[in-house]
């Protein structure tokens, strides 16, 4: 019996609304998961996340094993207590770093050796070690080590990545010792639909409590992403949650939901905030622009976040021009709130059978350049 359960509550086309239950509470889907890579959201507090309406958050085991070390987190009560978050939590294994830190790693059939980008020390990750780290951290959902491959790549290289991913997923499942964590195998296969299907079919045999789609947002054409994702989701069990890793613009969120995805994460809301960009229903605002200098309006007059109910565009433009760190916090609060509200509105549209119209209307607004 898995520590995680999922209940599908409504569908509209391929779009799904459901509920995930974990040992640390529930999260509704479609879910956008804010990313606290090193057990901290950039410039946001845990209370900010709660106020914004976050249901589940994400951290990265690769980074936490380096600093402060998974043993430190374990000895301080586990990741939930360590960062002060008492809700559902997911940790990634380091599979994304297989791609993003390609110049610092060496792969073999048993695992991956990294040269630390922090101090130059050599780090060894195997499927078993990745599970061991995440069991020490204690997140509700954990991810196996996989081979995330670049785009474009030769088909033979993608086939090898699929074979490695399947073998490592099997080893990860065998390595689990905690029964209160749910491991989600990751489907790889690049933009080759047949390889995605082969990988998904092999992983479904593991009868996992949920499944992830990895290897997207690595340079592939955007329109191709959604065709391949839909084909992947079509193979995965209807009664298990589906997680798309590392994708999260507002438009991408809606496209992924339309393809049958339940969970997504992305650093973009806080990264955009640090570059002085704000999400709105009428496109993205560039807060440095002169046009905002005397604007008394909030970033978004339909938003009830602390930023929009307190501060004007003119004030945020001033902070942006002065590079005041406060603007990172204020825009992060707004952008994360925007994504979480989009997830709730998407869920309501699915439940009401109006998702297609909601998506069309929302995308029309997002396409407006009101910078």
Q: For the chain, list the domains and their CATH numbers.
A: 5-266 (3.20.20.105), 275-366 (no CATH)
Instruction: With beta carbons less than 8 A apart as the criterion, state whether 1 and 344 touch.
Output: no
Q: Which of 12, 92, 262, 300 is catalytic?
A: 92
Q: Is 265 a catalytic residue?
A: yes
pTM assigned to the model:
0.97
Per-position pLDDT tens, the chain of length 371: 688 999 999 999 999 999 999 999 999 999 999 999 999 999 999 999 999 999 999 999 999 999 999 999 999 999 999 999 999 999 999 888 877 888 889 999 999 998 988 899 899 999 999 999 999 999 999 999 999 999 999 999 999 999 999 999 999 999 999 999 999 999 999 999 999 999 999 999 999 999 999 999 888 888 899 999 999 999 999 999 999 999 889 999 999 999 999 999 999 999 999 999 999 999 999 999 999 999 999 999 999 999 999 999 999 999 999 999 999 999 999 999 999 999 999 999 999 999 999 999 999 999 998 77
- Edge-to-edge strand order for the sheet containing 242-244? 31-34, 263-266, 242-244, 211-213, 186-187
Q: Is 140 a catalytic residue?
A: no
Q: Which of 146, 262, 265, 300 is catalytic?
A: 265
> What pLDDT is attached to residue 1?
61
Alpha-carbon distance of 162 to 190, in angstroms, equals 9
Instruction: With beta carbons less than 8 A apart as the criterion, state whether 120 and 144 touch.
Output: no
Alpha-carbon distance of 107 to 262, in angstroms, equals 31
Phi, psi of 206 (to 5 degrees): -75, -10
Element (H or E) spanning 199, and its range? helix 193-204
Q: Tokens 């003119």 identify what position?
A: 314
């Amino acid at each position: 019996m898995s520590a995680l359960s999922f209940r599908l509550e409504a569908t509209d086309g391929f779009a799904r609304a459901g509920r995930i239950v974990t040992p640390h509470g529930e999260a509704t889907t479609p879910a956008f998961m804010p990313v606290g890579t090193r057990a901290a959201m950039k410039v946001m507090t845990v209370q900010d996340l709660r106020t914004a309406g976050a249901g589940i958050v994400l951290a990265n085991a690769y980074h936490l094993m380096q600093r402060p070390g998974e043993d430190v987190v374990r000895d301080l009560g586990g990741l939930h207590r360590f960062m002060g978050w008492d809700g559902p939590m997911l940790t990634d294994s380091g599979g994304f770093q297989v791609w993003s830190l390609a110049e610092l790693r060496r792969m073999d059939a048993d695992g991956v050796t990294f040269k630390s980008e922090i101090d130059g020390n050599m780090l060894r990750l195997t499927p078993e070690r990745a599970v061991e780290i995440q069991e020490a951290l204690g997140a509700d959902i954990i991810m196996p080590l996989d081979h995330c491959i670049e785009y474009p790549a030769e088909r033979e290289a993608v086939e090898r990545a699929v074979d490695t991913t399947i073998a490592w997923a099997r080893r990860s499942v065998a390595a689990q010792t905690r029964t209160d964590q749910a491991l989600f195998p990751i489907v790889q296969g690049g933009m080759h639909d047949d390889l995605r299907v082969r990988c998904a079919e092999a992983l479904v045999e593991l009868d996992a409590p949920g499944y992830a789609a990895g290897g997207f947002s690595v340079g592939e054409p955007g329109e191709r992403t959604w065709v391949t994702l839909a084909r992947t989701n079509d193979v995965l069990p209807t009664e298990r949650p589906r997680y798309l890793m590392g994708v999260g613009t507002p438009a991408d969120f809606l496209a992924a939901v339309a393809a049958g995805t339940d969970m997504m994460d992305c650093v973009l809301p806080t990264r955009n905030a640090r570059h002085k960009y704000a999400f709105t229903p009428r496109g993205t605002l560039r807060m440095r622009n002169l046009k905002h200098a005397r604007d008394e309006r909030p970033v978004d007059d339909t938003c009830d976040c602390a930023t929009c109910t307190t501060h004007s565009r003119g004030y945020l433009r001033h902070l942006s021009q002065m590079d005041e760190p406060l603007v990172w916090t204020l825009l992060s609060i707004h952008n994360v709130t925007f994504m979480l509200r989009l997830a709730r509105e998407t869920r309501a549209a699915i439940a009401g059978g109006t998702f297609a119209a909601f998506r069309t209307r929302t995308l029309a607004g997002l396409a407006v350049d009101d910078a």
